[in-house]
Amino acid sequence: MRIKLLVLCIAVLLVAGIANAQATRTWVSGVGDDVNPCSRTAPCKTFAGAISKTASPGIINCLDPGGFGAVTITKEIMIDCTGTLGSVLSSGVQGIIVNALTNHRIILRNIDISGAGTTLGTNAVNIIQAGSVQLQGVTIETYSARGVETTNTSNTISVFIDHCWIQNVGQQGVLALSTSTGATKLTVSNSYISNNGGDGIDIAAPNASQGAVYNTIISKNGGVGFQIETSGDNGVVESSTLSLNATGVNANPGATIRLSRNTIFGSTANGIGVGGGTTKCFGTNVIDGNVGGQLCTSTVPANVSQ
């Protein structure tokens, strides 16, 4: 009898373990329910509901159109809405918070992240801790504060923004705001950053943080198109258009920006800011039609490295 009871207990525990096991791929649907296991045939309703049932590393896929809610990401995961309309609407709160481990890699792909309601959401994406965060094909709009920001207080976070739209937010489109011993390595490519209340891209983090921008339009932002604020930080802007911003680019004392094959036009304050840092202009830029300063601190002929 005791042996039978022991076998029965073990069987119950095994079944419970299987029932509670996390899947490496889960699904959300506009008509799903978070009490479901988030499987393909029984999807969840929200990203928050799915993430608790998804293994690390794992993938959350959007099965059909829907608004899947704000979420805090605490593990290595990809959220992928390729092929359908998957969105995050947040009113009065942040859209997506990333607070994972320092070696975790997070991917957000083809998601529409929007502030909503009478009280707009605050920040669209706040990266507190991770190893790297990639935004691919993400649209961000109508938040009261920042589009994407890093707020890590330690370790170096790599942030990649590719084929994204960041527009109509109240402050900076992208802000690297690491503090203490934290740093941000930012790469923006093939993207559109426009009509934001503050700077388009602002590197304000310490500890040799860097920003690299390629083939991107940064237009009609209320502050600087591309700015580096902290001494020792540096960046490059290449093959991009910075138009109709208050200032095109600006480097504060001790910071360096390298410019190659860009158009800087229609700035209402300065084409090249007078922040006191170093702006190296390689001889392939068009910097014209700006109010105020248009001269870099140094000009390097085309095809010459420095």
For residue range 51-104, list pLDDT tens digits in order: 999 999 999 999 999 999 999 999 999 999 999 999 999 999 999 999 999 999
| Cβ contacts of 197 within 8 Å, gap of 6 or more | 169, 170, 171, 221, 222, 223
* pLDDT, tens only, 258-292: 999 999 999 999 999 999 999 999 989 999 999 99
Taken in order of first residue, the domains within the chain and their CATH numbers are 59-300 (2.160.20.10)
**Band of residue 301 on the pLDDT scale cut at 50, 70, 90:** confident
Percent of the chain with pLDDT over 90: 90
Give the global pTM. Answer: 0.91
Gap between the Cα atoms of 175 and 19, Å rounded: 42
Q: Return the SS3 of 284.
A: coil
Statement: residue 230 has pLDDT above 90: yes
Vertex 138: Cα angle to 51 and 93 (nearest 5): 60
Statement: residue 7 has pLDDT above 60: no
Judge whether 106 and 129 are in contact, CB under 8 Å.
no
Judge whether 165 and 192 are in contact, CB under 8 Å.
yes
Q: What is the pLDDT of residue 6?
A: 45
Gap between the Cα atoms of 265 and 248, Å rounded: 8
Judge whether 45 and 34 are in contact, CB under 8 Å.
yes
**Band of residue 3 on the pLDDT scale cut at 50, 70, 90:** low
Stretch 181-191: mean pLDDT? 98
In 3D space, the residue among 47, 69, 121, 118 whose CA is nearest the CA of residue 91 turns out to be: 121
Judge whether 210 and 186 are in contact, CB under 8 Å.
yes
Going by the DSSP 8-state scheme, the letter that residue 283 receives in this structure is T
What is the enclosing helix (H) or strand (E) of 167? strand 165-167
Stretch 153-173: mean pLDDT? 98
> What residues are paired with 281 via a beta bridge?
259, 299
Instruction: List the beta strands (DSSP E) in 30-83.
Output: 54-62, 66-67, 71-73, 77-80
Q: What is the pLDDT of residue 303?
A: 56
Residue carrying structure tokens 């105020």: 292
Judge whether 172 and 198 are in contact, CB under 8 Å.
yes
